Copies of this chain bind each other. A is one copy, B any other.
Amino acid sequence: MGSVSPNVAELDGSNFNVTRSTNLRDVPLPGSPEEMSHSYCTDHMVTVRWTVANGWETPEVKPYQNLSIPPTASVLHYATECFEGMKVYRGYDGKLRLFRPDCNGERLNNSSQRSSLPGFKYDELKKLVAKLMQVDGPRWLPKERPGSYLYIRPSVIGNGPHLGVQVPKEALLFIIAVPWPDFTKMKKEGETEPKKGLKLFASTPDSVRAWPGGFGSAKLGANYGPSLQAHGKAQAQGFDQILWLFGEDRQVTEAGASNFFIIWHNADTGRLELVTAPLENQLILPGVTRRSVLELVRDRLSKQSVGSLQPLQVSERTLTISEIEKAAKEGRIVESFVSGTAYFITPVAMIRNNDTDISTLGKNGEPAGYAALIKSWLEAIMFGKEEHEWAYVVENEEK
């Protein structure tokens, strides 16, 4: 049931059956309708079949195409599905890089088993992604456009016929790559300039994303579909994401598809503090970007200043919306931002909680610059300006 058995084949990302597309698609321009669709994929995809009897079959690279799925498939009825979000970056040195891909591999392995789908050796995932990028990287992320990236979506689904409610006996791991707009540069209709930050709508008690003993810390489809109702309502009112609160004390957990951070002067000590929700209660997704932010700040910004930015004390702990409201009233908020693969590092301008609008920008209505600094550190690693163990170089791109 999901775990790796010695009797069946393990996932092996070193051997492929390759079928090349003979009908290459136009690569969309940044900002084009194709890119804005978030769904215009590259020329190829990776698929790997799994059966309970034989385990993982040989991975295939093949032309991007629709999946043929039986109407009785488990994934269509019982949400036996999970995914990852990653990016591949074209560096300023011309190389392609993945960012901490083993973190995504490990999480996908966990999510898959949480969905009663098969587990796998997590460090194989990056090889599958690298193979896809060896084929599609040269055309879709040309060396002449350093600083660009593609969004990578690995998924595992229960695609076998299993209309009876049961643990899936067949599964499919597939990976697609998609040109992705830069959210930080996007303007909404009617806006004349890029805004200072996201507008978040705090969830109300009648709408709960995750709960203790549930599955909020796994990247399952089941965390997303039921949350779209609240998300859609918030978007219709001009908000970007839901800020999910939990419990009677209205704990701040995560923001839609990303983790939430706030930098403020601590109410008790007055010290500058970076706060984000903890992982212990398993309500939030353990983001790879979240983890990287925490590690970089602990390493580079907790003991010394950087330029005019003072050191930050890092706190992973429960925080409530009333703490944030109080900090805003008292002028203690310095900056806040969300982190994630899709939204990367994006400042948050305000939070609406019930009828109260809370500004989460700094005193002068601007971010203090911490988010921009952290973002620049991450980009340096992603785009090869800084050699770092978190970057995984995709070797052997095809001509």
Contacts and interface: CB of A to CB of B under 8 A. Distances in A.
Interface of A: 1-2, 37-39, 41, 45, 64-72, 74-81, 83, 113-116, 151, 153, 155, 157-158, 161-168, 174, 176, 178, 205-208, 211-215, 218, 220-226, 228-229, 231-233, 235-236, 256-257, 342
Contact of A233 (B1, B72, B83, B213): B1
A223 B223 CA distance: 10
Contacts of A206: 213
A41 B71 contact: yes
Contacts of A157: 76
A224 B1 contact: no
In the A-B complex, list the 5 residue pairs whose CB atoms are closest, starting with the nearest: A208-B213, A79-B221, A222-B222, A38-B164, A39-B161
Nearest to A115: B225
Contact of A81 (B77, B83, B166, B233): B77
A77 B213 contact: no
A69 B66 contact: yes
Contacts of A207: 213
Contact of A78 (B164, B165, B174, B224): B224
Contacts of A164: 38-39
Given A79-B226, A115-B229, A207-B213, 9 more contacts: A1-B233, A65-B71, A77-B155, A79-B79, A79-B221, A116-B229, A165-B342, A166-B228, A220-B222
Contact of A80 (B162, B178, B218, B228): B228
Contact of A231 (B38, B165, B220, B235): B165
Nearest to A65: B71
B81 A225 contact: yes
Nearest to A67: B69
19 contacts: A37-B161, A39-B72, A39-B162, A64-B71, A66-B69, A67-B70, A76-B81, A77-B153, A77-B224, A78-B225, A114-B226, A116-B228, A167-B232, A205-B213, A206-B213, A208-B212, A208-B214, A211-B211, A222-B226
B208 A79 contact: no
Nearest to A68: B66
Contacts of A2: 229
Contacts of A77: 81, 83, 153, 155, 221, 224
A96 to B, nearest CB: 21
A208 B45 CA distance: 36
Contacts of A75: 75-76
B178 A72 contact: yes
A71 B66 contact: yes
Nearest to A204: B213
A150 to B, nearest CB: 12
A162 B164 CA distance: 28
Contacts of A176: 71-72
B205 A178 contact: no
Nearest to A205: B213
